[in-house]
Amino acid sequence: MLYDSHDLFNNAKKNLPCLVFIDEIDAVGRQRGTVIGEGNDEREQTLNQLLTEMDGFIGNSGVIVLAATNRPEILHSALLRPGWFDRQVTRQNIAITKSP
């Protein structure tokens, strides 16, 4: 989970060019109400901090941010707005067969 995205993005800016990869972005970026009984204040604060840090980037800043999830349907709509994670690449399962 992202605990201090401010430090993460400051380090990325100091080490240009840089690629930031966030695995399982749905852990902090899920829609409200997708988990019953979940206290989500910390998660929402982390999501807001992440969006604030990403909002500070200029088009060609030298930092590329990628994220992965296997549950895109639960992502918060704020993550999918233009300028954040607005491009999606879907990977389909590939059938592998053995050669005789």
* CA–CA separation, 26 and 23 (whole Å): 9
Residue 56 · residue 10 · CB < 8 Å: no
Q: What is the CATH number of the domain that holds 69?
A: 3.40.50.300
Whole-prediction pTM? 0.73
Please indicate, yes or no, if residue 86 is contained in any of the structural domains. no
Please report the pLDDT score of residue 40 as a whole number. Answer: 63
In this structure, what are the phi and psi dihedrals at residue 87, rounded to the nearest 5 degrees? -115, 130
Please indicate, yes or no, if residue 96 is contained in any of the structural domains. no
Please indicate, yes or no, if residue 100 is contained in any of the structural domains. no
Please indicate, yes or no, if residue 99 is contained in any of the structural domains. no
Please indicate, yes or no, if residue 29 is contained in any of the structural domains. yes
Cβ contacts of 13 within 8 Å, gap of 6 or more:
61, 62, 63
Please indicate, yes or no, if residue 64 is contained in any of the structural domains. yes
* CA–CA separation, 31 and 26 (whole Å): 9
For residue 8, the surrounding DSSP H or E stretch is: helix 5-14
Could you list the pLDDT tens digit for every one of the 100 residues in the chain? 455 788 888 898 899 999 999 999 998 888 866 555 555 678 888 888 888 888 776 666 788 889 999 898 999 888 888 878 878 888 877 777 787 7
C-alpha dihedral (77, 56, 68, 30), degrees to nearest 10: -30
Number of domains into which the chain is organized: 1
E strands present in the chain? 18-22, 63-67
Please indicate, yes or no, if residue 89 is contained in any of the structural domains. no
